[in-house]
């Protein structure tokens, strides 16, 4: 729409779009409002809208995804979480154990994360394990532990919804609902995540292209949930020196085509703790909006992913390094002082 388009003119375009059986998605930007059209199969005739009052131009979106694209929204999507404005200048640090194992274990690690300046606590209550004989997570009991630890520390929590059966429980207890790599193309789950009323952390599938990641996020936005954080967590390649290959180039690639924030998870990419800090540095350097890392104070006793968990001192070191890097990159790691208390 033109910069001076009136609300009535915007409504007029919305009505015209709807009268053709299509969905109109008004997107208010800093300069002007765009009205995105979805629901069309094939090309929409530009002449249907070009001459309506207030219309500046009709742009054909060249990608299969729309709502997530910069063509629909030029400015970054930003929102507040844990005292951090994700998608803006701030860098978000999410940290915690792979799995919630007990109240004491989760609290100990959360206190360390809080005192070192981390913003969000992670921890799986429902675990996607390769083997059915491995620890599967504490389930709803784990969600309750996370909620108690949030109460005690003030750290908001992010945890995975493994399937649609548990999504409502996860959305009830968590501040952010995580969709794991194995579920990136679980379209029923994506739709339900789009309706859950919580921000969603969407992890890239280990075999997914960036286009497929965009389309997965599109499912969530299409349900009216714009609060999506993407996460690069490593992809399958032929190398065997790491568990997965962190696709650092995906971060600037996503930034170019999408307004959504993207963070990196170097822990699941590396699979070994000695490579987590170097990959975390690289992620921030290429423009990630934050990090998600696994931390454990007793990794030898961890019920999952102990090998990749940073030790407490390493997490403190990581936070110091990220703060230094942020200052060179004209970004910032918000400190505890600016965070809301419980």
Which residues are near Mn ion by CB under 5 A? 98, 305
Q: Which of residues 237-256 bind ligand PEP (CB under 6 A)?
A: none
The stretch near ligand PEP (CB under 6 A) out of 137-145, 166-174, 179-187, 245-253 is: 179-187
Helix (H, G, I), strand (E, B) or coil at 260: coil
* Region near ligand PEP per CB under 6 A, out of 39-47, 74-82, 175-183, 295-303: 175-183
- Coil, strand or helix at 290: strand
Whole-angstrom distance, CA of residue 163 vs CA of residue 175: 17
Cβ distance to ligand PEP smaller for residue 55 or 179 = 179
Q: How far is the CB of 233 from Mn ion (least distance, A)?
A: 10
CB of 127 to Mn ion, least distance (A): 8
Residue from 71, 90, 101, 160 binding ligand PEP (CB under 6 A): 160
- State which residue, 87 or 266, has the beta carbon closest to ligand PEP: 266
Instruction: Residue 71: name its binding partner from Mn ion, ligand PEP, none (Cβ under 5 to 8 Å by kind).
Output: none
User: Angle at the Cα of 325 (from 320 to 330), degrees rounded to 5?
Assistant: 130
Residue 232 interacts, among Mn ion, ligand PEP, none and using kind-specific CB cut-offs from 5 to 8 Å, with none
- Per the DSSP assignment, residues forming a β-bridge with 207 are none
Other residues' Cβ atoms within 10 Å of the Cβ of residue 275: 18
- Would you say 292 and 122 are in contact if contact means Cβ atoms under 8 Å apart? yes
Q: Residue 34: helix, strand or coil by DSSP?
A: strand
List 66, 150, 268, 331, residue binding ligand PEP (CB under 6 A): 268
Closest CA to 304 of 189, 191, 136, 119: 136
Q: Is 203 in the site for ligand PEP (CB under 6 A)?
A: yes
Print the SS3 string covering 117-148. Answer: CCCEEECECCCCCCCCCCCCCCCHHHHHHHHH
Give the separation between CA 233 and CA 94, rounded to whole angstroms. Answer: 13
Binding footprint of ligand PEP, residue count (CB under 6 A) = 10
Q: Which is nearer to ligand PEP, 39 or 128 (CB)?
A: 128
128 belongs to the binding site for ligand PEP (CB under 6 A): yes
Q: How far is it, in rounded angstroms, from Cα 72 to Cα 38?
A: 11
The binding track of 299-338 with respect to ligand PEP, each residue x by CB under 6 A or -, is: ----------------------------------------
Interaction site with ligand PEP (CB under 6 A): 98, 124, 128, 160, 180-182, 203, 233, 268
């Amino acid at each position: 729409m033109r910069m001076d388009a009136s609300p009535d003119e915007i409504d007029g375009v919305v009505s015209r779009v709807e009268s053709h059986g299509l969905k109109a998605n008004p997107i208010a930007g800093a300069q002007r409002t765009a009205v995105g059209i979805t629901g069309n199969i094939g090309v929409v005739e530009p002449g249907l809208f070009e001459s309506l009052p207030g219309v500046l131009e009709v742009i054909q979106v060249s990608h299969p995804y729309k709502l997530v694209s910069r063509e629909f929204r030029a400015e970054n999507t930003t929102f507040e979480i844990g005292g951090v404005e994700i998608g803006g200048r701030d860098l978000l640090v999410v940290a915690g154990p792979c799995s919630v194992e007990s109240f004491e274990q989760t609290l100990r690690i959360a206190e360390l994360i809080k005192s070192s300046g981390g913003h969000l606590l992670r921890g799986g209550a429902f675990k996607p394990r390769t083997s059915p004989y491995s620890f599967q997570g504490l389930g709803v009991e784990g969600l309750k532990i996370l909620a108690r630890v949030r109460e005690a520390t003030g750290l908001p929590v992010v945890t995975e919804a493994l399937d649609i059966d548990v999504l409502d429980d996860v959305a009830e207890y968590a501040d952010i609902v995580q969709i794991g790599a194995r579920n990136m193309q679980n379209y029923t789950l994506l739709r339900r995540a789009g309706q859950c009323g919580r921000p969603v952390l969407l992890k890239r599938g280990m075999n997914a292209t960036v286009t497929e990641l965009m389309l997965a996020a599109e499912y969530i936005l299409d349900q009216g949930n714009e609060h999506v954080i993407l996460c690069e967590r490593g992809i399958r390649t032929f190398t065997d020196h790491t568990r997965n290959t962190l696709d650092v180039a995906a971060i600037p690639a996503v930034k170019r085509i999408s307004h959504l924030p993207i963070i990196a998870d170097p822990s699941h990419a590396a699979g070994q703790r000695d490579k987590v800090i170097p990959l975390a540095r690289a992620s921030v350097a290429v423009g990630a909006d934050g990090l998600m890392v696994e931390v454990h104070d007793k990794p030898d006793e961890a019920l999952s992913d102990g090998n990749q968990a940073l030790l407490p001192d390493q997490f403190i070191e990581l936070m110091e390094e990220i703060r230094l890097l942020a200052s060179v990159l004209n970004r910032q790691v918000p400190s505890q002082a600016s965070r809301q208390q419980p």
